[in-house]
Structure 1
Amino acid sequence: VKVVKNKVSPPFREAFFDILYGQGISRQGEIIDLGVDAKIVEKAGAWYSYNGEKIGQGKDNAREYLRENPDIADEIENKVRLALGVAPLNTVAGAPAEVEG
């Protein structure tokens, strides 16, 4: 996606994400991409692994694995959020998130 005009941030920025027909933007795909960037999910060739366990050969299979195992997807997402300095998913609204530092 290339944003040409934007009132709240600089124009001409590009973003890459998976859009699946009939589903929309893939949350699991974003978890995988951000997990690889944060070195939480390991990528070796076409294989993706988390905590030493292979979660899929190719991004489509890894995305399907996370869809079938939402607990692992949430765990990876919380680790990514902590790495980025964002509150984890499991916090109660209004309560401050505990961030280890």
Structure 2
Amino acid sequence: TWQQLMAKPRSHSVNATIASFKVSNLIAKKCKPFTEVKLVKDCFLEAADNHFKGLKNKKEIIAATQDVQLSRNTVMRRIEKMCGDTTEQLLEDVSNCVAFSL
């Protein structure tokens, strides 16, 4: 059906976005410059070419990896979004506290 046809690209897109957030999170945790994400993607693609040799879905795996959004600006936006979410969660947790100590 049409819905099944549309569900696969959407889940693939969601997976690519989640992967992008995970790489961005790692870049932030390691205090690396945003420009290093290009190197990360290039390294993974180079390794995948050999690592998945012989697998029937190798081309699909590599294509999915290429779809992960890892431009410098995208990573910067992802890190800003995660930072904002962390701040919101902290403020919500503090506002729900009856008492706390510093």
Q: What range is the shorter-chain TM-score in? A: under 0.3
RCO comparison, higher one (Cα < 8 Å, 6+): 2
TM-score, scaled relative to structure 1: 0.26
TM-score, scaled relative to structure 2: 0.26
- More helix by proportion, 1 or 2? 2
